[in-house]
Amino acid sequence: NAGVTQTPKFQVLKTGQSMTLQCAQDMNHNSMYWYRQDPGMGLRLIYYSASEGTTDKGEVPNGYNVSRLNKREFSLRLESAAPSQTSVYFCASSATEGSYYEQYFGPGTRLTVT
């Protein structure tokens, strides 16, 4: 099992450019999440998908959109990148039964917007 995979690992964008961060999980989890990590601020939830076909805003959704493509994949899109979106982005997934609160994290995407 690969767990949670993310692409790309690194990306540099110019202000105003767009890009999509990809995330996939092979654990048959229902819920998926996108976080950003900034120094001294921990992880902040951008968007989440409680189950296939649903998406909801988290704490810091402005400037982002998401798509839950199927049960495995959850993408994050920046339509017009801004320097304030320079961050490390993590995707995570969790089951919804049993130990459903455990979130499993991908390796992260380090994004720089110049």
Q: Which residues bind another protein (CB under 8 A)?
A: 4, 31, 33, 35, 40-45, 48-50, 56, 58, 90, 92, 94, 96, 99-108
In angstroms, the CA 90 to CA 103 distance is: 11
Q: Residue 94's closest CA among 108, 74, 109?
A: 74
Residue number, 78 or 108, with CB nearest to another protein: 108
Please tell me whether residue 84 adopts helix, strand or coil conformation: helix
Residue number, 49 or 87, with CB nearest to another protein: 49
- CB 33 → another protein: shortest distance, Å? 8
- CB 113 → another protein: shortest distance, Å? 20
Q: With residue 1 as reference, give the H or E element that holds it.
A: none
Residue number, 1 or 99, with CB nearest to another protein: 99
**Environment class of residue 53 by beta-carbon count within 10 Å: exposed (0-12), middle (13-18) or buried (19+)?**
exposed
- CB 53 → another protein: shortest distance, Å? 13
Tokens of 47: 């968007």
Q: Residue 78's closest CA among 8, 5, 3?
A: 8
- CB 80 → another protein: shortest distance, Å? 27
Residue number, 72 or 110, with CB nearest to another protein: 110
